[in-house]
Structure 1
């Protein structure tokens, strides 16, 4: 998100919330430090809320309404921002991804971006993703994978629907390299890859891919959709997503069995 002086409240409800927070604070002649003291946070947290670089939590919005007697204004505005489309969502998601301590994802239609080879990514982009510059889109996705080479990379737990392994994205040659890449990644100590078998049939992840991010002690969820996705930070909704992830994982193959299945699919890819 942008700095406070570049926020656009007309196009983003999150920007609107950030601007209102600053306006209402200044109307009460409060400094950021004084507002932080009222809400039990430090000045940098308030600054991040007002600049839009962090989202005002639901509990803090409700606290503001009580303290300032704003009749639910901030809670309603936050709910509106949470439920509406926001063009900044994916940018914010990648910010969280870069500093996440743990990433848990379920891949229902395509492999998670952190696991993709360059040619697999290029095939996906060329097949239908609406971008102006294919090379740039591929480069940006590859750059996200730098988090896996960091001195302290995140714990990465990935559940993959079996059909994702079998779809020949980019053709058999590209897919064989991709599957071999998955096997290599699966041997890293911080990466767990497990396959959800086709025989499972209907399961909690049938409605699509999603990702859970643990970042600075706060959990967020990202649900993919056509043309974008949705980032959620509300604890109740994130908790429901975590329960769904755990239920899918309960029926997934073990790490070793998953690795063997990936190898079998790779060998059979024609």
Structure 2
């Protein structure tokens, strides 16, 4: 869980909102329980808002504006925070990934982090100019612990052909990676489908994304060159879920995807 001490309100709209909510509550002398009662949230949820771990929705922001007499300031801050792209959203979605009940993935360029082998990840960090490759590899491998949870999430991953037929590092690195994908595809809670190149243009080529179900909340995370965006709005998340469904309709079946991966593996030198 994020701690208030790590918030950076000068560089993040979300962190500014979290810090300001804490300031307003303590200024008025309200308890988390009281604020939660007014805003329709649990006491712990209010604490999570102020730590940056969770975000209020639009209706809750309006109720908080009424409570604190801030006009529509909090609702406006929330709007601009939702519209932005911030690097720290990547870390937040990784934390949510670890506790998610369901993970849907569409990847257009690289093997998803939780599916990467150590050698594949090391190659990416080395070529990407990491200042501490081994630390980054350890952190990437730690994300895979979600696969061995006692209650592992349901995972449905759609991989564009670019992900699996582009050699990363060497033929040996890719053969190992493809073998691992085939192995993962036999796990009862994991579905891996490949979208073949023969499909041509499709909506997924606009960018990779992930949909996480955490408790009763469904969130979507989209990747961009300048930083990702974590979408908590239910309507936005639903649109991404529908896009994932439609992309899945163009993908190869589970077994056909395994066969395709095996053929690619055998062709790599």
TM range (shorter): over 0.9
| Aligned partners of 1:156 and 1:190 also within 8 Å | yes
1:40-189 equivalent positions in 2, closer than 5 A: 40-128=40-128, 130-189=129-188
Distance 1:155 1:236 in 2: 22
Q: Does residue 1:269 correspond to 2:268, yes or no?
A: yes
| Aligned partners of 2:86 and 2:227 also within 8 Å | no
Distance 2:175 2:134 in 1: 22
Distance 1:98 1:22 in 2: 27
State the TM-score, normalized to the length of structure 1. Answer: 0.94
Q: Could you list the per-position Cα deviations for residues 87-123 of structure 1 after superposition, in whole angstroms to 9, with x for gaps in the alignment?
A: 3211111110110111100110011011111111111
State the TM-score, normalized to the length of structure 2. Answer: 0.94
Distance 1:82 1:187 in 2: 37
Distance 1:250 1:144 in 2: 28
Q: Could you list the per-position Cα deviations for residues 36-89 of structure 1 after superposition, in whole angstroms to 9, with x for gaps in the alignment?
A: 111222211111111212122233113323455533211110111122233321
Q: Could you list the per-position Cα deviations for residues 205-231 of structure 1 after superposition, in whole angstroms to 9, with x for gaps in the alignment?
A: 011211111112211111122254222
The residue number in structure 2 matching 1:259 is: 258
| Aligned partners of 2:9 and 2:16 also within 8 Å | yes
1:233-244 equivalent positions in 2, closer than 5 A: 233-244=232-243
Further displaced range: 106-115 or 21-30: 21-30
Q: What value does the CA root-mean-square deviation take over the aligned residues?
A: 1.6
CA spacing shift, 1:137–1:6, aligned 2, 3 Å = closer
1:5 CA displacement = 4.3
The residue number in structure 2 matching 1:231 is: 230
CA spacing shift, 1:255–1:227, aligned 2, 3 Å = same
Q: Could you list the per-position Cα deviations for residues 133-165 of structure 1 after superposition, in whole angstroms to 9, with x for gaps in the alignment?
A: 011111110110011011111111100011211
The residue number in structure 2 matching 1:191 is: 190
Distance 2:62 2:257 in 1: 45
| Aligned partners of 2:38 and 2:63 also within 8 Å | no
- What is the number of residues matched between the two proteins? 269
Further displaced range: 217-226 or 59-68: 59-68
Q: Does residue 1:24 correspond to 2:4, yes or no?
A: no
Unaligned 5+ runs, structure 1:
none
| Aligned partners of 1:12 and 1:87 also within 8 Å | no
1:23 CA displacement = 2.3
Unaligned 5+ runs, structure 2:
none
Partner of 1:225, secondary structure, is: coil
